[in-house]
């Protein structure tokens, strides 16, 4: 196992709460999952479900309130400075919008060389070779090194962001909505590129997305999040073929698909996602769930198996999927 996340929590002080008042936004509230080397795990859910906070916790941009992150056998939250440096080298990220993640004042040469120079010991000749190799991997010509980000299309800029993430030969890349800022026509190219790179280098991906087409395409495991909790998770084929949680069912049914026989169905869940500041009691989805029973408002549903031969678990009081 490459990454093991156990009972991770991130509670932020509520905005406007006065000192001494105990008001917390429970952005992530006890989430567990694991990723094997070379595997893709996808976290999906609406905005505000906590998936981007998990990405920030894994990238050490935020400190967890509780829980454990174990990477390659080491507890990340107890690493010393050298250990953190090594972890940062092995866990890289590609964000949604390459226009804001790439410094517009730097040519591609420096954008790609920066992480290598910051961590390293590479000699000039070897560095140039490595930069050209990175461009080859992402399908850009060697003369791209002398250009600025604005001289590329959106899709090409995302290729540069991927090359930069690969510069330190990481084991895991966090892909935070990597295609959602791109034209639909370009998305498939970037998805295929990421899949090719994974095959070539045996990388693991954590994909944060609400584009379920992206998730369906190449994730082995999926976790569905709602208001800071994982409500259903498991083998992607099993979850996509037979979603068992009412929220997952509605999310999948409303997702755009290329199949005209299965148009997206809007309005399957009522209202907006609730507030992580005062999440509903019992099952957090109960105010929006069409199958809610009286106990749903009182009892937090424990996690259980959905049945079947592969990993597939959910948290719901219904004994059989609706
Ligand atoms: Fe709906 Fe109840 Fe299941 Fe929650 S526990 S998803 S409210 S049926």
Lowest model confidence (mean pLDDT) among 40-44, 186-190, 214-218, 302-306? 214-218
Q: Is the model's pLDDT at 68 over the cut of 70? A: yes
- Report residue 47: phi and psi, to 5°: -55, 140
* pLDDT at 24 (0 to 100): 87
* pLDDT at 256 (0 to 100): 65
**Mean pLDDT over the full length of the chain:** 90
Q: Which of 1-5, 124-128, 258-262 has the highest mean pLDDT?
A: 1-5
**Beta carbon of 286 within 6 Å of any ligand 1 atom:** yes
* pLDDT at 322 (0 to 100): 79
Q: Is the model's pLDDT at 32 over the cut of 90? A: yes
Compute the distance from residue 287 Cα to the ligand 1 centre, in Å. 9
Lowest model confidence (mean pLDDT) among 108-112, 124-128, 290-294? 124-128
Query: Between these two residues, 141 and 269, which has the higher pLDDT value?
Result: 141
Residue nearest to atom 7 of ligand 1 (CA): 286
* Average pLDDT rounded to a whole number, residues 9-31: 84
* pLDDT at 210 (0 to 100): 78
Cα angle 52-7-165, degrees, rounded to a multiple of 5:
40
Query: Between these two residues, 133 and 212, which has the higher pLDDT value?
Result: 133
* Average pLDDT rounded to a whole number, residues 55-78: 97
> What are the tens digits of pLDDT across the range 273-321?
778 888 899 999 999 999 999 999 999 999 999 988 999 999 999 987 7
**Beta carbon of 291 within 6 Å of any ligand 1 atom:** yes
* pLDDT at 276 (0 to 100): 80
Ligand 1 atom nearest 247 alpha carbon: 6
* pLDDT at 254 (0 to 100): 80
* pLDDT at 122 (0 to 100): 74
Residue nearest to atom 3 of ligand 1 (CA): 316
* Token duo for residue 194: 């990421």
**Beta carbon of 317 within 6 Å of any ligand 1 atom:** yes
* pLDDT at 215 (0 to 100): 82
> What are the tens digits of pLDDT across the range 147-198?
999 999 999 999 999 999 999 999 999 999 988 888 888 988 999 999 999 9
* pLDDT at 272 (0 to 100): 75
Contact in structure between 23 and 188 (CB atoms under 8 Å):
no
**Beta carbon of 285 within 6 Å of any ligand 1 atom:** yes
Residue 317 Cα distances to 159, 230, 285, 293, 321, angstroms:
44, 15, 11, 9, 10
Contact in structure between 175 and 208 (CB atoms under 8 Å):
yes
The SS3 call for residue 319 is coil
Residue nearest to atom 5 of ligand 1 (CA): 316
- Report residue 136: phi and psi, to 5°: -60, -45
Handedness of CA 27, 31, 37, 43 (dihedral sign): negative
């Amino acid at each position: 196992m490459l990454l093991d996340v156990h009972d991770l929590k991130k509670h932020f002080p509520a905005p406007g709460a006065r000192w001494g008042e105990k008001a917390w936004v429970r952005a992530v509230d006890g989430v567990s999952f694991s990723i094997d080397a070379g595997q893709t795990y996808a976290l999906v859910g609406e905005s505000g479900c906590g998936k981007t906070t998990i990405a920030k916790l894994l990238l050490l941009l935020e400190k967890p309130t509780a829980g454990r992150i174990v990477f390659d056998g080491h507890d990340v939250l107890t690493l010393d400075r050298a250990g953190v440096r090594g972890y940062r080298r092995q866990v890289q990220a590609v964000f949604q919008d390459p226009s804001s993640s790439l410094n517009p004042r730097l040519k591609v040469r420096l954008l790609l060389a920066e992480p290598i120079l910051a961590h390293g010991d590479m000699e000039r000749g070897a560095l140039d070779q490595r930069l050209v190799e990175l461009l080859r991997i992402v399908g850009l010509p060697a003369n791209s090194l002398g250009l600025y980000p604005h001289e590329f299309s959106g899709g090409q800029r995302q290729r540069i962001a991927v090359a930069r993430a690969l510069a330190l030969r990481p084991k895991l890349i966090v892909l935070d909505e990597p295609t959602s800022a791109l034209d639909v026509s370009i998305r498939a190219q970037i998805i295929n590129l990421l899949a090719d790179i994974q095959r070539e280098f045996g990388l693991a991906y954590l994909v944060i997305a609400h584009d379920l087409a992206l998730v369906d395409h190449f994730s082995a495991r999926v976790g569905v999040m709602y208001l800071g909790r994982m409500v259903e998770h498991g083998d992607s084929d099993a979850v996509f073929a037979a979603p068992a949680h009412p929220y997952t069912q509605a999310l999948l049914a409303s997702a755009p698909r290329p199949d005209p026989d299965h148009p997206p169905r809007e309005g399957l869940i009522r209202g907006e996602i609730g507030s992580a500041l005062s999440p509903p009691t019992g099952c957090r989805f109960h105010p929006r769930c069409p199958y809610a029973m009286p106990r749903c408002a009182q009892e937090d549903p424990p996690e259980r198996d959905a049945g079947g031969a592969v990993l597939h678990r959910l948290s719901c009081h219904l004994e059989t999927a609706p």
